[in-house]
Amino acid sequence: MRRETHLTAIRTFSLQNMTLDGNRAGGVGGNGMEVYAYGYTLFNVSVADCAGRGIWSEYHGLLPPDGKPLEAMWLGVSVRNCTGGGVYFNGPHDSQWTNVIVFQCGPPGIANGSTTKGVEVAPESNGLRVANSHSWGLNQAYAWWLDTDGPGLVNCTGEGAEKAQVVVLGNDTQIVGGKYFAARDDLQAVAIQIGAVGHVGPAGTFVNTKVVNCNLGALKFVRDRGVGRYILSVWQTSGSAVVRTPTATAQLGNRFDIDVNGGAVPGTDPLAPVTFQERVLARRDFSAQGDVQLGAPGKRLGLFGAVPGEQSAGWSTKGPDVREVNGNSDLAAVRDTLGTLIRELQRYGLLK
């Protein structure tokens, strides 16, 4: 990775209605477009057939020195058939992309063994927002590589990448809507990977999307620091929807709501994430950890680890029936009161 801090940044320029041909077939090397800039706009720009990356953008710094707008705006940008990868974006931060398409950016004519990234988002680009964009290609190792804090993908797609469609490395990443799928004949790919070897695990990841035919895992944990929320609709024919590398730990602060169809199992032990309406993520050893724990076979879930009985005398509906839980109540009294309340709500059809 280069850090061009010795350069003087250019600013507030616009490129519109332009096509750049890198002519890699003719032996021309290098990237298609390189800028150290802020406050610029790309509109209806196409970059193709480069030996290096299609577009390389950088700007390092929180505020521009002249008070001008900082964010870069990309609209209707396409990068295709570039051997060294599609886009490397390392600033300016808080930039906005819409309708960006990156495809087949890797060594030509291969479907395995690539190391390239369709879109690589680097640390100086925190707060990048991407909407309605698409990164795909069998000759890409990764479709989206998010190595910055606070990026967002809204209604975006990643497909065809050999290793993973999205890799999340920075904190507070948001992936909402869209679709991520292998698009490979053997379906041997990961959809969304959390963390990577050699990187500090991310925290606060929010994912709400659809995953199709990524049989190496709809969600794979490599490094993780928790406080994540994962809502996934998964179609997967084999394997586990949620997997982790042998040395990885999915933190207890994470929450899962995952609907799995197609033959795959929900997750590898100790993970058991499934749709909340059916079961709750819980530790199988019935230890004291977790908000809710699994009860005995055939019984409903117990609140705070207490397993309610199948029947009880319940509360009377005739006349006053008061039970008080206050600061002096012990845990047994709390469990008894809450357990009875749940059973009564079920008995009168108010809780299913």
> What's the pLDDT score for residue 345?
77
Q: Which domain holds residue 225?
A: 10-287
Residue 162 domain-assigned (yes or no): yes
Is residue 304 pLDDT above 60, yes or no? no
Residue 15 domain-assigned (yes or no): yes
Verify that 319 and 198 share a domain, yes or no.
no
CATH of the domain at 107: 2.160.20
Residue 2 domain-assigned (yes or no): no
CB 242 within 8 A of CB 256: yes
Verify that 116 and 76 share a domain, yes or no.
yes
- Neighbouring CB atoms inside 10 A of 179's CB total 17
- Which of 257, 287, 317 corresponds to the end of one domain? 287
Q: Model confidence at 248, in pLDDT bands (50, 70, 90)?
A: confident
Q: Provide mean pLDDT across the span 92-116.
A: 97
**Geometric angle at alpha carbon 143, from 142 and 145, rounded to 5°:** 70
Cross-strand bridge partners of residue 35: 57
DSSP state of 81: S
CA-to-CA distance for 256 and 253, rounded, in angstroms? 10
> What's the pLDDT score for residue 225?
93
Higher pLDDT, 275 or 106: 106
Does the predicted TM-score (pTM) go above 0.85? no
Verify that 189 and 338 share a domain, yes or no.
no
> What's the pLDDT score for residue 201?
93
Is residue 295 pLDDT above 60, yes or no? no
Percent pLDDT > 90 in the chain is: 65
Mean pLDDT of the chain: 85
Higher pLDDT, 280 or 37: 37
Is residue 236 pLDDT above 70, yes or no? yes
Cross-strand bridge partners of residue 176: 154, 208
Higher pLDDT, 214 or 344: 214
- Min mean pLDDT across 5-14, 118-127, 149-158, 337-346 is at 337-346
Verify that 75 and 155 share a domain, yes or no.
yes
**Per-residue model confidence as pLDDT tens digits over 144-203:** 999 999 999 999 999 999 999 999 999 999 999 999 999 999 999 999 999 999 999 999
**Per-residue model confidence as pLDDT tens digits over 24-81:** 999 999 999 999 999 999 999 999 999 999 999 999 988 877 788 899 999 999 999 9
- Neighbouring CB atoms inside 10 A of 52's CB total 18
Q: Model confidence at 207, in pLDDT bands (50, 70, 90)?
A: very high
Encoded tokens for 325: 């839980």
Residue 145 domain-assigned (yes or no): yes
CB 198 within 8 A of CB 166: no
The residue type of 141 is A
